[in-house]
């Protein structure tokens, strides 16, 4: 279905802020956006060093005069062109997301923004209001949510396959920062600096990912209160945490947990979500993203596979290759970027995209809000707090 068909009538004229030479995240943005002719890279402010940024852009076949020294110049200059950019992706350090996103919206651009959207709920609400006022799309790259079996999970839950939902256990717990790696690594260093990273490290950087998966799978679940305890096992990271546990009570009596960690020594990513109902459970793990364990109480465990006919139809629409052939994180991101493109095109046509969900501005707001509540709990002695 994706095999060569158009998702948008004309590729959207697109630029990046950040994501330059050596940026892994920049590459996955481009790789996902440019696939399938949804976007066309026509401009960029790729690097804080203008010259390096231009060189990089030219390598990507961007016209040299549209390789800008900074995002402000880019927004200004592109606005003057008939064929100026229509959308921009922001892949810069966390502390700059708010201002760039705001500027982009004010420039009338659709936005794709790395999470976190910003650092405070207040800022987040501000951006939300602005995007609504300007009628612009803001997509947040909760990339894992683009895996097709996440959609299968969503459909299974909606269809009652699990019974009444009782428990949601989540984790994103890797071990790559078990030691003080930031001492010699610029790309980690800013993450443990509150000025650059905001009020948390692993809660925001890691925990919000499976949290968003839970929002996709369980759109009706609302957190009522939570408690969070956080630790800095590498002492120099304090006050930012490198490990945290959050327990949540939901409106309907269900409970949830999130383990966020970068000191889970030896673990690759360890992002998992397990949703437990009165009849059955499902479990997903980011390192085997084409599979979903489906465990009906009293029956053999089933390994549900992407791409197979027995899935709900909604879980099949994004397939690029047959079941059994592993799709990876790039396909998940490509799925999101395709939906971003469709949503942008729909808005530009004066329509609304009804039939697909994607991580939009609300997802961005919710992530910021959750971190804020966790930090409030943790900093008050890991007490229970009402979710605000």
Please list every residue from 20 through 39 that binds a copy of itself, using CB under 8 A: 20-24, 26-28, 30-31, 34-37
Among 43, 111, 138, 263, binds a copy of itself (CB under 8 A): 263
Site for a copy of itself in 83-102 (CB under 8 A): none
Q: Is 336 in the site for a copy of itself (CB under 8 A)?
A: no
248-274 b/e (C-beta count within 10 Å ≥ 16 → b)? bbbeeebebebbbbbbbeebebbbbbb
Q: Is 175 in the site for a copy of itself (CB under 8 A)?
A: yes
Q: Is 331 in the site for a copy of itself (CB under 8 A)?
A: yes
Among 160, 194, 219, 328, binds a copy of itself (CB under 8 A): 328
Q: Is 261 in the site for a copy of itself (CB under 8 A)?
A: yes
Among 78, 123, 151, 286, binds a copy of itself (CB under 8 A): 286
Q: Name the residue nearer to a copy of itself (CB basis): 68 or 259.
A: 259
DSSP state of 326: P
Q: Name the residue nearer to a copy of itself (CB basis): 5 or 354.
A: 5
Site for a copy of itself in 211-230 (CB under 8 A): 227, 229
Q: Name the residue nearer to a copy of itself (CB basis): 285 or 360.
A: 285
Q: Are strands 291-296 and 280-285 parallel, antiparallel or unpaired?
A: antiparallel
Site for a copy of itself in 343-362 (CB under 8 A): none
Among 66, 269, 339, 342, binds a copy of itself (CB under 8 A): 269
Contact predicate 226/250, CB 8 Å? no
Phi-psi region of 72 (alpha: psi -120 to 50; beta: other; left: phi over 0): alpha
Q: Name the residue nearer to a copy of itself (CB basis): 59 or 220.
A: 59
Contact predicate 325/340, CB 8 Å? no
Enumerate residues 6+ apart whose C-beta is below 8 A from 212.
Answer: 142, 144, 145, 359, 363, 366, 367
Q: Which helix (H) or strand (E) holds 17?
A: strand 12-18
Enumerate residues 6+ apart whose C-beta is below 8 A from 144.
Answer: 150, 209, 212, 213, 271, 286, 289, 329, 332
Q: Is 324 in the site for a copy of itself (CB under 8 A)?
A: yes
State the number of binding residues for a copy of itself (CB under 8 A): 94
Q: Is 266 in the site for a copy of itself (CB under 8 A)?
A: yes
């Amino acid at each position: 279905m994706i095999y060569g068909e158009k998702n948008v009538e004309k590729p959207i004229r697109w630029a990046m802020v950040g994501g330059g030479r050596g940026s892994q995240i920049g590459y996955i943005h481009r790789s996902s956006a440019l696939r399938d002719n949804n976007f066309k890279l026509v401009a960029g402010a790729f690097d804080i060093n203008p010259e390096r940024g231009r060189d990089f852009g030219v390598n990507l076949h961007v016209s040299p005069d549209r390789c800008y020294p900074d995002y402000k110049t880019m927004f200004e200059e592109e606005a003057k062109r008939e064929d100026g950019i229509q959308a921009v992706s922001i892949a810069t350090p966390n502390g700059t997301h708010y201002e760039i996103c705001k500027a982009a919206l004010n420039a009338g651009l659709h936005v794709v923004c790395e999470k976190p959207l910003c650092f405070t709920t207040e800022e987040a609400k501000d951006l939300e209001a602005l995007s609504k006022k300007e009628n612009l799309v803001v997509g947040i790259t909760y990339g894992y949510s683009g895996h097709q079996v996440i959609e299968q999970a969503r459909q299974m839950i909606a269809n009652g396959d699990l019974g009444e939902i009782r428990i949601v256990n989540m984790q994103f717990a890797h071990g790559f920062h078990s030691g003080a790696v930031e001492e010699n690594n610029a790309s980690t260093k800013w993450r443990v600096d509150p000025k650059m990273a905001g009020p948390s490290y692993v809660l925001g950087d890691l925990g919000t990912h499976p949290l968003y998966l839970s929002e996709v799978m369980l759109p009706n679940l609302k957190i009522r209160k939570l408690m969070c305890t956080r630790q800095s096992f590498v002492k120099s990271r304090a006050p930012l945490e490198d490990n945290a546990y959050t327990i949540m009570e939901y409106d309907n009596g269900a409970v949830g947990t999130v383990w966020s960690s970068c000191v889970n020594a030896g673990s690759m990513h360890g992002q998992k979500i397990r949703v437990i109902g009165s009849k059955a459970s499902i479990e997903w793990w980011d390192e085997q993203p084409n599979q979903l364990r489906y465990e009906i109480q009293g029956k053999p465990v089933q390994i549900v596979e992407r791409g197979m006919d027995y899935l709900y139809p909604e879980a099949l629409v994004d397939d690029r290759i047959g079941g059994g052939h592993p799709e990876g994180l790039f396909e998940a991101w490509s799925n999101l970027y395709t939906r971003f493109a469709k949503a942008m095109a729909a808005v530009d046509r004066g329509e609304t995209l009804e039939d697909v969900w994607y991580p939009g501005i609300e997802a961005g707001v919710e992530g910021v809000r959750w971190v804020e509540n966790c930090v409030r709990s943790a900093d008050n002695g890991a007490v229970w707090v009402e979710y605000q």
